[in-house]
Each structure stands twice: as C-alpha cells, then as structure tokens.
Structure 1
C-alpha cells in the first residue's frame, strides 16, 4: 500500500465511516484481524482498518482520482484568474484613444476585489465557516473531474473532517486569496505593460463634487503607496486634471505611478497577507487534526478492535453488500512450508505423508480454527502454502474469501483440488466452477499433490 499523508489517512477513515453509516457494516473480518495485529491505540487501529478497507474496496484509488480532479480544477481556475486579471487591466485603461478616468479605472481594478474581501471578512466573523463561490466552484469541479463511483462519500467526508477544527475556512481561504492574488498580480503586470507601451492621459470628472474633494481622496489613497516610493500627484496636477488630460510627461508619470501604487497597497498586499494567515492557520490546525472517537461509528469499533476478551460465535451482523474475494501474497519476510485443508469429509484419511520441512496445520472446520491459523500465519508468514479443498463442495463466497485471506499471508500459494474417493465420480460442472473461481482469484491450483513443491520450492 503506498504511503499516504496523514490528512489523506484521516480522510479515508471518515469516508469509510460515512459509507458504513449509509450502507451498513462492511465485511471487515480480515481488516479487523490485521488492525489488531498491528497493535497501538484505538485511533491507530481504526486508521489501519480503514486503510485496508479503502484499498480493498476502491476508496483509496478514488481518493487519488479526486485529488487529480482537484488539481485539474485548480489549474483551470488559475488560468481563469490569469485571463481575468489581464482583462481587468485592459478594461480599466482602454486602448489609449480616450483619456482614462482615474477613479473609474481604480474602481474597475479594485471594486470587485474589495467587495469580495469585505464579504469574506464579514462571513468569517459572523458565520464562522464561509464558503465562497470560488470555493464551492472548486469543490464541484473536483468531484466532476474525479468521475469515480467510489468517490461519493469523499467530498462530504473531507468537509466533516475539516469542520471539527474549523479548517474549512482556512483551506478555502488559501484558495480564494491565492486566486485573487493571481488576478491582481496579472492585472498589475498587464497594467505595467500597457502603461509602458501606450501613451495614456488621465482625468477625473464630477458634477456634484469639487476639486478639493478629489485632491483629498487622491492624497488619502496615495499616502501609503508614497511611503513605498510611488509618486503622488500634487494638488495643482490633480486640479488641472479635472478639466482635461494633461500633456505634461510628469503628470502622466505621477498618475500612472499612483494607480500602480494603490493597486499594490489596497489589492495585492492585503490578499498576500491574508493568504499567509490562512496558510499558517491551515498548517497549525492540520497538525492537530484527530479522529473524533466519540462518534457512534467509531465507538462501535472499539469492541472489535480492542476486545476485552476473544468471544466465540457470530460477532458481526451480515453486511448489506458482499465484497468480491481477492487473492494476493505477502511482502513480509517468510520461511517454511505449510499444508492446510478446509472442511474435509471426516472419512477421508488426512494428512498425507509429509516431509519434515512441511508443517501440518490440520483441517479448518470452525471460525475459531480459521481465526487462530490466520493470526499464526500473520505473525509467521510461510514461504509456501498449500491449501487442500474438496471440489465436490461448491466454491461458495465464504470459502473463496478464506482462500484469498490465507493466500495473502504467504509468499506463494497453491490450491490442491483433492480427487474424489475411489469409485466416486467428480461433477465436471462443479470442477469447472472451481477453476473459474480460482482463476478469478489468480491462485495457482492443481489436481495432484503439491508436496514436492512444498518441500523444495519447485516441482
């Protein structure tokens, strides 16, 4: 299983919990056993169980698809931000054939930004978790681009997980402020390019207000940028620009520098500072993120993952949906050879004559025997495992699941389809069903005894 970041692991835990809340308990016998073998506290065992189930049922792969969709959606939004910023600058300045109204240009560059910024701050103070239109668009695009049926619970699980530490606001804040930062940066660069390659004249116009009002507003907005070195038009230049665009080069430079400075101070800098704030709060909160073990779904797992004692009998209710059996092999260090049989006729002589290098695990007839052997093989994985089955029995789902689980404890596994007793014919259709089922599990099988392979590793 590939290594996952901590947030991704917790996210998968929440996804499995939501899935079981909606569809009922999953078939989790093997996952519970492996989680108990891992040890540790309850949270660690719940996490191990969830990762095993997610890898088995496709949620882990769906998570990777969801993340790929999220990255693609983010890329699309970044492209949209670049073109939007350039469009703002072009709209603000025009083609240079007419004088630029400096306050209309400033409103075009910063009006929507300041309106959205005020809405974000107000929502943060009053509503707590404020989902912006950009944030909702990103989440919607991420789900649509994932296109994975197993991703149904991923979006809601992520939202619920982050809400516990109120991290939604900071994650979406990173997105929103980052996009606006890119929009304003693109607008500033386009503004600089246009001002460098075209000649613009600047005016201000009014019917009700006097020139002194515009002088005061211009000086008020340009005070902070002037501290950073941006030019500030003097009172005479401002007053003269109210009649027509000045042809004086210094006036053009003063108004152009003032416009760039105001965009930087009231546009780029606030978004950059808020983006850094969201980044700090996101990293700080993410490090403290934990599973809420008081939730009913996790509380019910406590008895199965940290049982006070091992009990016999049926422990779990039947799952709402059955899981397709899977074969496999272990990557752990292994040694030795083991022969085991499953539900043989008591009249059949067993075991056959075995060499000293082959361990006899007996015949598995009960749940307790199966669990005991799985625990033992989990601690001491064999290099070779032969499993004898009676092909006169049907290859039911429970037997196939057990074969797959046993196979995953050994480096190599072979299934021994035992011959029928002397004088008894074997049903060809049932044997064909066994062959089909074992091929689906990708398990090697044979009609003859694999004792030579068990002892030496080859036939």
Structure 2
C-alpha cells in the first residue's frame, strides 16, 4: 500500500468519526501502541486497523478499480474525439479544405479547454477542469461500493494541504487531451497520405496581407522543427479556387501538421509533465494535520502522559488481588486463559512445562492488562477456557475475537459441567454456532497436549 493510500484512509477514518461519532477503537489503539513510533505513525496505524476492520480497505480497492475503469472510458472518449476532429477538419477530399476552418476544428476546442484550465488554476485554486471532475464522479459510481462514498470527501481534504488536487486532476486532464491530439495528428497524417486534398482560404472583408501574416506567424515555430511553410505566392494563389494549387499542396499539408503538433500536442505534453513533476514533489511532503481536534484527542489515548512515580497515598488495610492478567514471560509459546469462571472450579489445571497460565479474566482491568501483554508478545498457541453454562453474550464473544487476534493459533475449550450437573443443550448449541461464526476452533476436550506440542 502506498503512502498516499495510507494517509487517505487515515483522513477517511477521521472524517467518519467527526460525522458519526467515535468508533470502538480500544483494540486499534492497543495494536497501534504495541508497534511504537511517533504520534503520526500511531494515528496512521490505528486508522489502518479500523479501516481493515470496517471494510474501508476493501472499499479503497473498489474505488481504485472504478478509477481505472473511469480512466479507460475517458481514454476511449479521447480517441474518438481526436479521430473525429481530424475527419471534421479534412472531410472526404471531394472539396478543397479551408485551411483556417480546418485549423479551428483541430485546435479550437483544445485551446478553449486549455484556457479554461488555466483560468481555473489561477482563480479557483484547485481546478481539475470538467474532465477531472467527471473522472472523480465516474470513479465513485463505477466502484459500486457504498463504503467508497466515505473515501470521496477525504481525498480532496488530504490533497488541499499541499495544493496537490490541481496537479493530480491536471495530470489526468492533460493526459486525456494529449491522447486526443495524438490520435488527431495520426489520423491527419493517415488522411493526408491516402487522399488528395486541395487547400484554400476565403474571405470577404479581410485582405491577402492578413492571411499572409497569420500563416507565416503560425508557421514560424513549426518551421524550426523542419515543417514546411507556404511562401507568399503559394498563400496568395490559395486564395482563389481557380489558381494552380498543386505546388502548394505539400506545403499546406506540412504547415497544418506542424501547427497541430506545436500548438495542440506539445503544450499538453509539457503541462502533463509539469503536473506530474509537481505531483511527485508534493506527494513526498504529504502528512496528516496534527492540529485537527480529533487528532489532539487521540494523542491522550495513543501517547498517554507519564505519571510521577512514587508513593502518593497510604496503602489500604488489604490490597486487592486480581484474578486475571498474570504477568507472562516474554515470548511464551503457549498460553492458557479462562474467561469468567466461578469459584466452584479448581483453576488452573496441571499445566505441561512451557505452557503459561494467564489466570481468569473477570474484570475490565485484567482484560486490558492481558491484551496489552499478548499484543506485545503474541504466543504461538492460545487456549481460552469458557464455561458453557453461561450464555455467549456479545461482550464475551468480542473478547474472544480480540484474544484470538493476539495469537498465531487459538482454540476455545468449552469446559465440562461439574459432577452431578448437566449442560443445557440449547445453550451449548448457541456456543457452537457463535464460535463457528467467529471462525474459532472449539472442543470440550482439554487442549493441553495441543498447547504443549502444537498438535493433538
């Protein structure tokens, strides 16, 4: 995943929380803190975890697919546009071609849209032109994912900090017109090579000198590249249909091709290269805005302030001894933990060597402490003992899911009922269905051999 994608998802998560309220991010914050790093890194890691959990990562893939399909559709449109411009300019060869009408047909729309882009760049700031906005609209529609709608507002917000929106959309706009003008130029060459065209100019109120000066001025730059320019006699002779135009055909054809290349294709090529350079340069400087209120609140959760060590209050008469969250050795290969067991059971059972006992989780603090430890030192195998006499409520199932994500392999041990007591079959079936939905392996047999050896 590119850096722009990671920042984009981070911004999408921020906007989602601002509009819909804070997300359930306790596990995301814990996973982010476990990796360490500065605050931007922690915020980004947290956002990516939430994006993966809530489907935004998949939505981003769909949006990219839609963007590619939208670009292909616009590219096809550009090919047909360029080809159509060449046909409209030269016609079928049955009548002489008015050179300035042909030039207007080939360059007029291109130059008007280029002028609009430049005005938008100057006045509006982040202008991508109509084609740029059309591409963004097509990308969202072709993604066919409702979650992709959350990504659409995040991208402009991210890019506007470095004023990159104009360059990204500008790259697309100039790329489309570059393709259109390239197709127009190729079709122009093909038509000139396979058909016989005569070239004329006509006027009612202008004199010969106006067309003479305009033709030579437009042909000055193409002439530097080796393209032909009609001389004064050929230009005057083309002003009448009765004149002998055979000597001027090739000069007019070379002039027309050179003018389209220099004033139609090359400006788009240079502007596309400029936009690409500015995009790559600004992309390296992209970063999240830590001054956003939501990020300032995250600082307290991802980088909690340090507390002064030492005795602050007198010790109570009797200290509370928690029954969960026992300190585990770093890198313990196998861990056994129980969830909400009553005092009628003897716990823990005799454990093989190398299997760590994480105690019984029965309060929030114990759960948080154990999850922090497992996040920092994930075990290879984790067995979770549950009492199937209790109902599999959502809180317990959420805890099982969090614990399972902290280990390479996880099994749930559904304990047998105490002697003289029978399990409720309906409740046991509910446990089986819930664990199957979570994708967790479960059994009523003690997984001690699996914990010790990795197999049964």
1:212 maps onto 2:183 in alignment: no
Match of 2:442, SS state, is strand
Q: What residue is the counterpart of 1:436 in the other structure?
A: 433
Instruction: Map 1:94-243 to 2 at 5 A.
Output: 94-243=91-240
User: C-alpha separation between the residues in 2 aligned to 1:249 and 1:300?
Assistant: 79
Structure 2 counterpart of 1:27, from 24, 27, 46: 24
For residues 44-66 of structure 1, the C-alpha deviation after alignment (integer angstroms, 9 at most, x for no partner) is 00000011111111101110110
Change (3 A) 1:418 1:29: same
1:68 maps onto 2:65 in alignment: yes
Structure 2 counterpart of 1:385, from 363, 382, 385: 382
Structure 1 counterpart of 2:334, from 321, 334, 337: 337
Change (3 A) 1:416 1:210: same
Change (3 A) 1:419 1:219: same
Q: What residue is the counterpart of 2:410 in the other structure?
A: 413
**Which sits farther off after the overlay, 33-42 or 416-425?**
416-425
The alpha carbon displacement at 1:378 in A equals: 2.0
User: C-alpha separation between the residues in 1 aligned to 2:32 and 2:21?
Assistant: 20
The alpha carbon displacement at 1:421 in A equals: 2.2
User: C-alpha separation between the residues in 1 aligned to 2:196 and 2:243?
Assistant: 12
Query: Quick check: 1:201–1:246 contact (8 Å CA) kept in 2?
Result: no
User: C-alpha separation between the residues in 1 aligned to 2:36 and 2:373?
Assistant: 15
Instruction: Map 1:302-451 to 2 at 5 A.
Output: 302-309=299-306, 336-451=333-448
The alpha carbon displacement at 1:454 in A equals: 1.5
The alpha carbon displacement at 1:30 in A equals: 1.0
Change (3 A) 1:245 1:11: farther
Change (3 A) 1:42 1:135: same
Q: Specify every segment of 5 or more residues in structure 2 that has no aligned partner in the other structure, as ranges.
A: 308-329
The alpha carbon displacement at 1:422 in A equals: 2.3
Aligned length: 434
For residues 242-300 of structure 1, the C-alpha deviation after alignment (integer angstroms, 9 at most, x for no partner) is 11175543300011011011111111111111111111111111110010111122121
Match of 2:217, SS state, is helix
For residues 314-339 of structure 1, the C-alpha deviation after alignment (integer angstroms, 9 at most, x for no partner) is xxxxxxxxxxxxxxxxxxx9752111
Structure 2 counterpart of 1:454, from 448, 451, 454: 451
For residues 149-178 of structure 1, the C-alpha deviation after alignment (integer angstroms, 9 at most, x for no partner) is 221211111111111111110001000111
User: C-alpha separation between the residues in 2 aligned to 1:118 and 1:380?
Assistant: 60
User: C-alpha separation between the residues in 1 aligned to 2:184 and 2:440?
Assistant: 62
Q: What residue is the counterpart of 2:318 in the other structure?
A: none
TM-score by length of structure 2 reads 0.93
Match of 1:166, SS state, is coil
Query: Quick check: 2:140–2:152 contact (8 Å CA) kept in 1?
Result: yes
User: C-alpha separation between the residues in 1 aligned to 2:104 and 2:281?
Assistant: 36
The alpha carbon displacement at 1:355 in A equals: 1.9
User: C-alpha separation between the residues in 2 aligned to 1:342 and 1:309?
Assistant: 31
Query: Quick check: 1:143–1:155 contact (8 Å CA) kept in 2?
Result: yes
Query: Quick check: 1:100–1:201 contact (8 Å CA) kept in 2?
Result: yes
Q: Specify every segment of 5 or more residues in structure 1 that has no aligned partner in the other structure, as ranges.
A: 311-332
Match of 1:262, SS state, is helix
Match of 1:155, SS state, is coil
User: C-alpha separation between the residues in 2 aligned to 1:457 and 1:402?
Assistant: 23
User: C-alpha separation between the residues in 2 aligned to 1:413 and 1:246?
Assistant: 92
Larger RCO, structure (CA 8 Å, separation 6 or more): 1
Q: What residue is the counterpart of 2:297 in the other structure?
A: 300
Query: Quick check: 1:203–1:245 contact (8 Å CA) kept in 2?
Result: no
User: C-alpha separation between the residues in 2 aligned to 1:96 and 1:449?
Assistant: 90
Q: Over aligned residue pairs, what C-alpha RMSD do you find?
A: 1.4
Q: What residue is the counterpart of 2:282 in the other structure?
A: 285
The alpha carbon displacement at 1:425 in A equals: 2.6
User: C-alpha separation between the residues in 2 aligned to 1:302 and 1:131?
Assistant: 35
Query: Quick check: 1:201–1:245 contact (8 Å CA) kept in 2?
Result: no
Q: What residue is the counterpart of 1:84 in the other structure?
A: 81
Match of 1:415, SS state, is strand
Query: Quick check: 1:202–1:245 contact (8 Å CA) kept in 2?
Result: no
